[in-house]
Amino acid sequence: MELVVARIGRAHGIKGEVSVEVRTDEPEARLAPGSVLATDPPGAGPLTIESGRVHSGRLLLRFVGVHDRTAAEALRNTLLLADVDPDESPDDPEEFYDHQLVGLTVVTADGSEVGTIGEIAHLPAQDLLVVAREGGGEAFLPFVAEFVPEIDLDRRRVVISPPPGLLDED
């Protein structure tokens, strides 16, 4: 199974480096020199990481065969994908891969069914659970412990404690 681990941003400098938006909690393993990553769109890759460094709080990568700004800029907005065993879980028990959460039933603390997780939206400030509602439509729930106190992968359900008004239909 392929997981998105980063999105390529702007070119940095003239020697082929790019900034990346990291989308993994394991960048040192997934984005290490020598890593070969598939891409979306597929025609941009696969890409092999030649080197990486942090500059002004941003991760910069250089890929084998990408040696100038023009080639680097052509990769902008390309997603980097790592091949991961579908049964693999993150080391931290409080972390989850998107594919583990999509399709789980969402219920409130009192047991009322809300819907199912359709996707996880990775936004700059925080992640959101996009919940397909039982009666149609979607609800967006910040993926934080205060609002999502329990995730039970074995029972395939997520218990939520939404703030007042979040699930109101009106």
Q: Summarize the confidence of residues 77-101 as an average pLDDT.
A: 79
Beta-bridged to residue 39, according to DSSP, are 80
pLDDT tens profile 24-60: 777 888 889 999 999 999 988 899 999 999 998 889 9
- pLDDT band at residue 86, thresholds of 50, 70 and 90? low
pLDDT at 4 over 50: yes
Burial class of residue 76, CB neighbours in 10 A (0-12, 13-18, 19+): middle
Q: Summarize the confidence of residues 139-160 as an average pLDDT.
A: 91
**What does residue 159 show for φ and ψ, rounded to 5 degrees?**
-100, 130
CA distance 119 to 61: 28
Instruction: Indicate the average pLDDT of the chain.
Output: 87
pLDDT for the residue numbered 169: 60
- pLDDT band at residue 170, thresholds of 50, 70 and 90? very low
pLDDT for the residue numbered 22: 87
CA distance 50 to 28: 14
Q: Which of these, 163, 102, 165, lies nearest to 132 by C-alpha position?
A: 102
pTM, two decimal places: 0.64
